[in-house]
Amino acid sequence: MEGILKMNYKGMSKLGLFFFSIIILTLFFSFSVLAEESEIIIPEFEYHNFQLNNGLEVFVFEDDSIPLVELSIFYKVGSIDEEKGLTGISHFLEHTMFMGTEALGKGKMDELIKAVGGQNNAATSFDYTYYYQEVPSSMLELVMAIEADRMGNLLIDSEEIEREREVICQERRSRVENNVITAGIEIIQAKAFPKSSLNHQIVGWMEDIERIEAEDIRAYYDNYYSPNNAVLVIAGDVELEEVKNLTKKYFAHYESREIKRPDFIEDKQEEEIVTEIELNTNIPFTFMLYKIPEGDHPDIMGINIFLDILVNSQSSRIKQELQKKENLILETGTLLYEMRVPGFALVYFVPLNEGLIGKAQEAFDRELAHIIEEGIEDEEFQAVKKIYEKGLVFMQRDTVSMAQSIALSKLNYDNPELYREQLAYLNQLSKEDIIGIASKYFNAENRVIGNIVPVKEQEIEGE
């Protein structure tokens, strides 16, 4: 089991590339183009949607190009739903979901999936938890039965919980505490969100992982893992009527439940926060956290476009000036955390050495001010447009990714057609709109700066 989404904890050799964040969380924003010359039109993506009487939403994407089917189920629960003292419980429960049921003991589910040539995995995010199984299309009923079984019949054994606790503790050590980037981001998040449930990484604080009990996991499972808090996605070589019959057969007997979700606290900020973080690294890093609105807010599209022009593309202002001309930084990029509550954007650069942190920051702020005060060039528009056009062509060929995007839009925003609304808005955006959005969010009063630097050598007493 994968555990936590890789975008938050793994493989940051190239900090702007992530396993799932681009494919799922920003899929419906990746079609961002500006309509100065022509509008981009997304072709019709055919799919079917129905709902069981218990509230379970089901999306079916028929694609007979390959004799495979992927079953995905998304639960509307993640680390932003965790209460103080129980951080990391969403991820802990995800691990627990592989411990078996009364019908299928521990490990039996994996054995069945592998026996038919399939694969399965799971991931926890800030605002949802996700499970998927990919098998030959003739095995659809098998995975339907498995996923339905563990929706309501999960075994939660205290001894197994203790064994899994050490696995999760080790996961935190390797992915957060022993990873300079994620360890630094965790500290920056805590500074930016002192009261909010965004103040911790998805894996949770170590002291909470060590105190979570089987009873806590049972209560969390009973509260959130219900059909009316889930979206089921079937994509591949299937027929709608078969999916309807199997869904009713295996999921219809569950009853909907009232979901008790804690209120999300949004931390307000009135002035810039700057902190220096000493960690075991030979290379300094600067992260700038900017607070952004929820993922279905129209401004999100402008934020994406602005960051591409400022930082992300090879022709971006920061790459051209700070990296190529002034030789102040080694790399730069952004990490966007878009979710059903107000999230954040992390803009980072890697100074050539620690002594250049201040100069690189001044140069970054200079380029940020230039683009806001002087506007955007037409050439920059066209460069961004080409990038998104290529992304659009790619996404047209990926039924599973499109299915997951639509399902997440339904889960988080009750709007499966959100990507179309976003595209319509994008095609009306002007350069002035982009600058207005940039001015609104990318200012010092909305920023937390974290400079990650090598641990200073301690003076030896008596010398």
In this structure, is residue 260 part of a structural domain? no
Provide the residue-wise pLDDT of the chain in tens; the chain has 463 residues.
Answer: 545 443 333 233 333 333 233 222 333 333 333 333 455 565 667 899 999 999 999 999 999 988 999 999 999 999 999 999 999 999 999 999 999 999 999 989 999 999 999 999 999 999 999 999 999 999 999 999 999 999 999 999 999 999 999 999 999 999 999 999 999 999 999 999 999 999 999 999 999 999 999 999 999 999 999 999 999 999 999 999 999 999 999 999 999 999 999 999 999 999 999 999 999 999 999 999 999 999 999 999 889 889 999 998 888 999 999 999 999 999 999 999 999 999 999 999 999 999 999 999 999 999 999 999 998 888 777 777 667 666 655 665 678 888 888 999 999 999 998 888 887 787 788 889 999 999 999 999 999 999 999 998 764 444 4
pLDDT attached to residue 423: 77
| 68 C-beta neighbours (distance < 10 Å), count | 19
In this structure, is residue 374 part of a structural domain? yes
Spatial neighbors of 462 by CB under 8 A, at least 6 apart, are: none
Count H helices, E strands: the chain? 16, 11
Q: What is the CATH number of the domain that holds 354?
A: 3.30.830.10
In this structure, is residue 259 part of a structural domain? no
Q: Examine the domain organization and report whether 288 and 232 are in the same domain.
A: no
pLDDT attached to residue 462: 46
Residues 101 and 126: their CA atoms lie apart, in Å, by 26
pLDDT attached to residue 231: 98
Give CA angle at 338 (216, 426), nearest 5°. Answer: 155
Q: Examine the domain organization and report whether 222 and 296 are in the same domain.
A: no
Q: Examine the domain organization and report whether 112 and 76 are in the same domain.
A: yes
Helix axes 108-115, 140-152, angle to 10 degrees: 170
In a 3-state reduction of DSSP, which class is residue 301? helix
148 φ, ψ (degrees, to nearest 5): -65, -40
In this structure, is residue 415 part of a structural domain? yes
In this structure, is residue 459 part of a structural domain? no
Q: Examine the domain organization and report whether 351 and 391 are in the same domain.
A: yes
Instruction: Tell me which residue has tokens 């503790």.
Output: 169
pLDDT attached to residue 314: 83
Dig out the tokens for 35 from the structure: 């309509």
Number of structural domains (the chain) is 2
**What is the CB-side half-sphere exposure of residue 356 using CA atoms within 13 A?**
18
In this structure, is residue 460 part of a structural domain? no
In this structure, is residue 463 part of a structural domain? no
Q: Which residues pair with 334 in a beta bridge?
A: 347
| DSSP code of residue 442 | S
Q: Examine the domain organization and report whether 245 and 349 are in the same domain.
A: no
Dig out the tokens for 182 from the structure: 């994620």
E-assigned strand segments in 165-248? 230-236
Q: Examine the domain organization and report whether 61 and 198 are in the same domain.
A: yes
Q: Examine the domain organization and report whether 285 and 244 are in the same domain.
A: no
pLDDT attached to residue 261: 96
Percentage helix, strand, coil for the chain under 3-state DSSP, each rounded to 5 = 45, 15, 35
Q: Examine the domain organization and report whether 165 and 202 are in the same domain.
A: yes
Q: What is the span of the domain harbouring residue 135?
A: 6-251
In this structure, is residue 258 part of a structural domain? no
Identify the CA nearest to 295 among candidates 308, 286, 304: 304
Residues 171 and 181: their CA atoms lie apart, in Å, by 15
Q: How remote is the C-alpha of 243 from its chain's centroid? A: 28
Position 101, amino acid: T
pLDDT attached to residue 2: 46
